[in-house]
Structure formats: structure tokens, C-alpha cells
Structure 1
Amino acid sequence: MSSDTTAFGIDFYSGNKKAFLNCVREGVKQPFSFVVTPNVDHLLQMETDGQLRDAYAKARWRLCDSRILLSLLDRLGVHLPEAIPGSDLTLELLKWADQERLRIVLIGGLETEAAKLRTIYPGLTLYHYNPPMGFIKKPDEVQRCLEFVRQHPSELVLYAVGTPRGEILAAATQPHERTGMGFSIGASISFATGTIKRAPKWMRECKLEWLHRMCMEPKRLAKRYFADAVYIVPAYLRERSLRQKPTPTKQES
């Protein structure tokens, strides 16, 4: 891992969104690989979730999803050109798939949302499967998801089942089983279809999208964001301390 792009144990993708989308255009033709989108909540989950850490290690690219995390990385000396929020990236992928008449497998999301996607993007072919709640703890249900992905060739696989479920599913699909690229996209389908309204542009630019989302879904997100806030300050200080320690040198005999 390159030291100038690594922090919190993650080697971050160092290009901008335009360059990354060019990588995707080639990547979808190759053996299956997947992308993860680290943010503060992912860092917190990785502290205790070995499966998520394993998925991160297997991912082809790790895109900084959060403008808040981007600022912290910059303070640590990891200078990335921009954050690439998953919601923005998902819209770019959907537009591209629509224009190029590509195929997408969508795991998760409501059937009504899948129907809206087909209406908004008539050029793409969408294969949709929504597993039941708690599926990740049921091996048979996990296998149903994996089989659906294997049996439906596509350029893109979008996992709309939340973290770490999407990352675990993506890591369980082997490169020899199919081609294409996978993305764990969280609630991005709900944003893309208008089911959930995104924060205004000025709030996103001011790093306040989290506040808008919390106001929209307080019961689900308030506790999560509080835990993230409690975690990130000491985590940042630990990371800064580690990076400031002098590199041990071999003592002369």
C-alpha cells in the first residue's frame, strides 16, 4: 500500500471521479471486482466487524465517500483530489448504463423503486432481487442473493442492502464466476428515485448532508451519527499520533 494514500488502515483511491469512471468503463469488461466507499461509519464498524475488514481488503478500489473524512485525511497528509459520495457515483453509473444500454443487477431496494428506475432509465436492463430483512444471518438467503448475481450476467451489480451486508455479498462473488463490477450503494437508489430527498447542494458543499439526512430519518440515523462522532475524534488523534512517530532506525553496532 502506498503510504501517501493510506490512513486508518485503508488505501484510498487517489484519483478524481472522472478518472474513476474511466476505470469503471474498462473494469466492467474484466473478471468481477468490487468497490467500497469508506466513510466515518464504516471506520467505526471495521473496529469490530472482521467480515467488513476482509471485504475492504479484497476490494479493487476504496473511494472516500465523505467530505468530512476527506478533511480529516487532508489534515493527516493524505491529499485526495475530492470526495466521491456514493449517491453521486450511483447517479453517474445509472446515467451511463442508460446511455450505453447496459445491464444492472440490483440487490435490495423496493420493487416500486426498481420500477421507477426502469421508467427513469429506459435504456438499461435491470434485474432486481430484494432479500428479506435479516438475510445476512441466514446462509440460505445469502446463497439466494449470490446465485441471483451469478445467474444474471451484467456490467454492474448494485448492492442496496446497507453496510456491511453489501460489502460481504460483493466479497463473496469470485472473479472467475462472472465479469462486471459491484458497488455497495446504501440508500442511493432511494435518492435516485426520489423516495428519499437529498440535501440541497449548499448543504452538501458545507459538509452538512449528514444533518439533512438525520432530520429526514431521525429514528434510524441519530444514534448512528452520535456513535460516529464519539468514535472519530479519538480515532483521528490516534492516527495522527501514529503518523507523527519517527520511523525507527537501525542502531549502529
Structure 2
Amino acid sequence: MSPSASGAAPAADVPPAAVPPRPGPGRVEVAGVWVDALTEGEVVERVAAAARAGRGGHIVTPNVDICRAAARDAAVRALVARADIAVADGMPLVWASRLLGSALPERVTGADLIWSLSAMAAAEALPVYLLGGPPGVVEHAAEVLSARSPGLVVAGVSAPPYGFESSAEGVAEVREALVAAAPRLVFVGLGFPKQDRLIAELRECMPGVWFVGCGAAIAFTAGAVRRAPEWMRDAGLEWLFRLISEPGRLARRYLVDDLPFALRLLAMCLLSRVRRRVVRGRRGELARGRG
């Protein structure tokens, strides 16, 4: 599981993929969604190259909670499938890919990408914009990023009021502020799927801009929410740290919804691996018998 905000509706058990594979090499199907087998550094390089060519895009970071939602909701599956880059934010997805024999190289989180992409933006002179988080938090996050990456140009920040996306006026206000700021890289920390639905709409009028759906990354950057120690992240236990930190808000999502989904996913992948080995063993025996 992962610390990224979700807010998605409950979903059913892990199904086979319901969205056809997207074109291009290096895509791996895990838990019914297609993700890119990229390291964090490779994501940064791909964004930088596209930005130099004047192309924008959308980065989504599926975790267990997002995959669980995608298992039930075709619109959520399509939202992930339409993203230009999808990387696994969740060690269970990395573990599952290894069991399936198509190993993802590493976990890539929005909370990490906000740092590495900002450093790239500073080097490439790409203005950035931070959208999401409570008032005061987003401004402080911009200050922290600027201090970490000298030369970073922050074109603007915005903390839209709760429920702004439910009215055309609220969305228009956000869109107009973004267009006026003219960023090239926008971090949107509103929680999945709200942030990614908004990104899909904003991209229509800002095709040369890269948008990153980054969940709680803005709050992490500002220090308003603590991240787990690195050893817990590497061990796939960041969800446990978040659960201990915010039990009232996260207990149901992590313990009732996400943990059973993750366990079923890993069990199914393990069973598939065992079956493949048995089949290969039987084929080897038949080949030896013919010989």
C-alpha cells in the first residue's frame, strides 16, 4: 500500500485487466492496470526530453488503493490508461510484478518525484506550479522546493477550496489562474481520482504542460505531514506508518479495503508463478521422454 491520497470508491476483488494494453514497450500489467517499467531517474529523463520538444503529459502513480478502485470502475481504469506515464507507487505492485516474471525496477512515488522533477525543472528553466493542499501549506512547500533546487522558478501556487471541482465556476477559476501563470510543470495534490480528472480537463487547454498527480506530496514537502523513515518505505511499510499517524482517517481504507486486496493480489500472482513452473516442468519431462 502507499501513502498517496485516494478518496476513490470501494472496489471488488482483483480481476483480469479490463483496459487493453496501451501501445509502446516497457509496459507491465499489474492488478489490472498497465504501468511503465521505469525508474525515478528514467521518468525525469522522459519528462525533460518531452518538455524540450514542447510536449506535455500526465503522470499518474497507481498504488494498491488506485488499483482497487480501477478493479471496479471502468472510468478509473480509463483515467489511469490515458496517462502518458504510469509508475507503481506501492511495493505490493512491485512484488506482484516480480512474481509474474515482469519485474518493475522500483517503486516510484509522487512524494519522491516532486523533488527530482523540481530539480530537473530548475536545471531546464521550466516554471513550476503547485496546486492543492491547505492554504499556507502549499506556499511553504514552494519555499522548501526553491531552497532545495536553487534557480527553480515557481510560477504560482493555489489551494482551491473544498468542493471547487463540483462547479464550472470553481474549475474555471483554477484553469484561468494556471493559464495566466504559464507553468511548464504542475504538481496537483488533490487526491486520486479528483486530481487526475482535473488534469484531464486542464490538459485540453495546456497541451505543452506536464501534470503530476502527486497526492499528499505537497503536504509531505511542506512538512505538514510526516513521511515514514526510509527503511519503512523500502520494506513496503509506509502505509503502516501513515496508519499509525492517522488511524481515524485511514484505518478503514488500509485495513478493510487495501490490505485484503494486496494479499489477494500477491496470492494470485504466487499461484500463477507456481502453475507456470509446474507447466514448464511437465513440458521438460515430455521433451526428455521423447528424447
TM-score range, shorter chain: 0.7 to 0.9
Query: Is 1:202 equivalent to 2:228 in the alignment?
Result: no
What do residues 61-106 of structure 1 show as CA deviations (whole Å, max 9, x unaligned)?
A: 1101112221122112221111112211112122333455431122
2:254 maps to 225
| Conservation of the 8 A alpha-carbon contact between 2:99 and 2:269 | no
* Cα-Cα RMSD: 2.6
Question: Which aligned pairs between 1:11-22 and structure 2 lie closer than 5 A?
Answer: 11-22=34-45
Most deviating of 145-154 and 63-72: 145-154
Q: 2:191 aligns with which of 162, 184, 189?
A: 162
What do residues 130-178 of structure 1 show as CA deviations (whole Å, max 9, x unaligned)?
A: 2221233333323333333333321201111001011111112335634
Matched residue type, 1:24 = V
1:251 maps to none
Distance 1:239 1:170 in 2: 32
Q: 1:43 aligns with which of 63, 67, 76?
A: 67
TM-score, normalised on structure 1?
0.85
SS in structure 1 at match of 2:215: coil
Measured at CA, do residues 42 and 228 of structure 1 come closer, stay the same or move farther in structure 2, by a change above 3 Å? same
Question: Which aligned pairs between 1:57-206 and structure 2 lie closer than 5 A?
Answer: 57-120=81-144, 121=146, 123-174=152-203, 177-206=206-235
Deviation of 1:111 after TM superposition, in Å, equals 3.0
Distance 1:85 1:184 in 2: 10
Matched residue type, 2:47 = V
Q: Which ranges of structure 2 fall in alignment gaps of 5 or more residues?
A: 1-20, 280-291
Q: Which ranges of structure 1 fall in alignment gaps of 5 or more residues?
A: 247-253
Distance 1:15 1:241 in 2: 26
Distance 2:271 2:176 in 1: 45
Query: Is 1:27 equivalent to 2:50 in the alignment?
Result: yes
| Percent identity (aligned) | 27
Matched residue type, 2:49 = E
| Conservation of the 8 A alpha-carbon contact between 2:55 and 2:208 | yes
Matched residue type, 1:143 = A
Q: Which has the larger radius of gyration?
A: 2
SS in structure 2 at match of 1:5: strand
1:249 maps to none
Measured at CA, do residues 40 and 159 of structure 1 come closer, stay the same or move farther in structure 2, by a change above 3 Å? same
2:16 maps to none
Matched residue type, 1:5 = V
Most deviating of 190-199 and 112-121: 112-121
Give the count of matched residue pairs: 246
Q: 1:8 aligns with which of 16, 28, 31?
A: 31
Distance 2:75 2:168 in 1: 14
| Conservation of the 8 A alpha-carbon contact between 2:192 and 2:213 | yes
